[in-house]
Copies of this chain bind each other. A is one copy, B any other.
Amino acid sequence: MNGNLSLLDAFYNTKYQVSGNSRRNIQVLKDAIMDVDGNMESDIYGGGKLIEDFEAKIARLLGKPSAVFFPSGTMAQQIALRIWCDRQGIHKVAYHPLSHLEIHEQGGLKELHRIESVLIADKDRTIRLEDVLRMKDDVACLLLELPQREIGGQLPPYEELEAISAHCRSKGIKLHLDGARLFEVLPYYGKSASEICSLFDSVYVSFYKGLGGIAGAILAGEQDFTTLSKVWKRRHGGDLISLYPYILSADQAFDLRLARMEQYYRDAVELAELFNACHSIATKPLVPVSNMFHVHAEAPKEKLEAALSALCEETGIGLTAWVSAVGDTASYFEVSIGDRYAAIPKEELKRAFLALDAKMKSIS
């Protein structure tokens, strides 16, 4: 913990950071509402022009008839799965072993909705058609996360996605998209959001990942599905009298950064190459398919932290604020490209990676 704290401090003291858009401070909100007319009316319990306009805008982009703004993806996705389970009369869903629902939500799906999860595919790869074909359990719904965040943002080939979708439709299994980072994979797939979403019955997207909003999510699908999702949103305590601070920020972030996803993706590919040229380092995936990837190092967490802290001080470039252990001898960290990367002079970046390469040789 001390190690992480000092890396965190060192990271924030650097002139340049490779990940993210900006610091998560109050200025993000100030910037988001600065130019908004103060006379604009708040949304009221899910109604009003401010929230309805944004929901309609995102529904159009996703190619779905209707969309509902939620305070969080945790809430939106549990509700989507609950609706499909109730409709199918089966209280079981399938997803990846490292799905957000399985590892980051304190078992909410089980504790609140009594829905069982069937974990398919190995932890270190994405779900394949054969995993779905091999599934023995009767499930109401299959959830796919694009990209699979916990394994560096991996993606299945688009054809496999189409095949999984076709199979689920033929079997009456609902297909839900965990699209927390959906906009981040559009450049790699070379598809529009609505093309990808047409493969799914319901879709969740987030506004604070690559887009850089403050918080908030959209759940989209058919009208009867979203209407019911609003009832569940009320039950969850998510139907706040006012969600506009998040909506205004989401809308601004969306308009600002959606078109930049192509650049973030290219930047990620370039940056991963720099990492992979270093001793005892390999990115996962080796060639990124979105704005994100994981950096795996053959060095214990504490040693990597110390090396990265020193690198911050010596080069003024922060590669990460956090390192996670992989057993006793290896470690990794996550990189998500946003606005910050483009500000780093290429020569300084190259010097930092030469220094990283040297440090890795001495610790691994």
Interface residues of A (CB under 8 A from B): 23-30, 33, 36-42, 44, 70-76, 78, 105-108, 111-113, 208, 214-215, 231-232, 234-246, 248
Contacts and interface: CB of A to CB of B under 8 A. Distances in A.
Among A25, A28, A214, A245, max chain B CB count under 10 A is at A245
B30 A42 contact: no
How many copies of this chain does one complex carry? Answer: 2
Among A78, A112, A239, max chain B CB count under 10 A is at A112
Given A74-B239, A106-B231, A235-B107, A38 B30 contact: yes
Given A112-B112, A245-B246, 7 more contacts: A26-B38, A75-B238, A105-B234, A105-B237, A106-B232, A208-B242, A214-B241
A112 B75 CA distance: 12
A348 to B, nearest CB: 24
Contacts of A245: 29, 214, 245-246
Nearest to A78: B237
Given A33-B30, A215-B241, A242-B215, A108 B39 contact: no
A17 to B, nearest CB: 15
A240 B106 contact: no
A72 B239 CA distance: 8
A106 B215 contact: no
B26 A75 contact: no
Among A38, A75, A242, max chain B CB count under 10 A is at A242
A37 B25 CA distance: 9
Nearest to A79: B237
Contacts of A108: 234-237
Contact of A36 (B26, B208, B214): B26
Given A214-B245, A245-B214, A72 B237 contact: yes
Contacts of A111: 235
28 contacts: A23-B41, A24-B41, A24-B44, A25-B40, A25-B41, A25-B42, A26-B33, A26-B37, A26-B39, A26-B42, A26-B248, A27-B38, A30-B33, A33-B33, A71-B71, A71-B238, A72-B237, A76-B237, A106-B231, A106-B232, A108-B235, A108-B236, A112-B113, A112-B236, A214-B242, A236-B237, A238-B238, A245-B245
